[in-house]
Amino acid sequence: LALLGATTLQIEDFLKSSNNFIGDTAALASSVFYAVNFLLLEQLRTKFSVEGILIWRCALGTLFMIPVVLIFSDQIFPISWSGWLAVISLAVICEAVGHGLVVYSLKHFSSGFVSLVLLLDPVVAAILAWILFSESLSILNLLGFAVIMEGIYLAKTGKGADKPTIKEENT
């Protein structure tokens, strides 16, 4: 149901212009990789700490990105204080806090439920765009928001959202 709501948010954009087919296809592929990421993190979380997972994630990401940076960029490190501030902010806010909380939550909730809750991202982004930049929200957008919220509610109140505790598993 929440996925239907997220799809509803995109239908209006697709109806306005089908020129974004490549971008929409890339977004769909991205969502598949995102789902695989959550399933892997859920398995890793049963064996490793949040800190360990984040360190390995950053180390592997660095190893894969170094060749790309060396091939396509003249400069590896920022040269200004504002550049360094941006890099440090991304590391602390996005990786340590954002991804850290997601990995931490996988100890307590299923990967399916965590990914459903993350469907709130476009809802929050659209509301912030409406507040900060006077973006317009259509009836279809509001319908999509409602469907996403209902899907998350149903997923949380249904079976399988919470991970069973050790005591529950033994009974």
Tell me if the pTM is above 0.95.
Answer: no
Q: List the pLDDT tens digit at each of the 171 positions of the chain.
A: 656 666 666 666 666 666 667 776 777 778 788 888 888 999 999 999 999 999 999 999 999 999 999 999 888 888 999 999 999 999 999 899 999 999 999 888 888 888 878 878 888 888 999 999 998 888 888 888 888 888 888 877 876 556 554 444 444
Torsion on CA atoms 39, 43, 48, 51, rounded to nearest 10 = 10
42 contact partners, CB below 8 Å, separation of at least 6? 106, 110, 111
Q: Is the Cα torsion angle 19, 20, 24, 30 positive or negative in sign?
A: positive
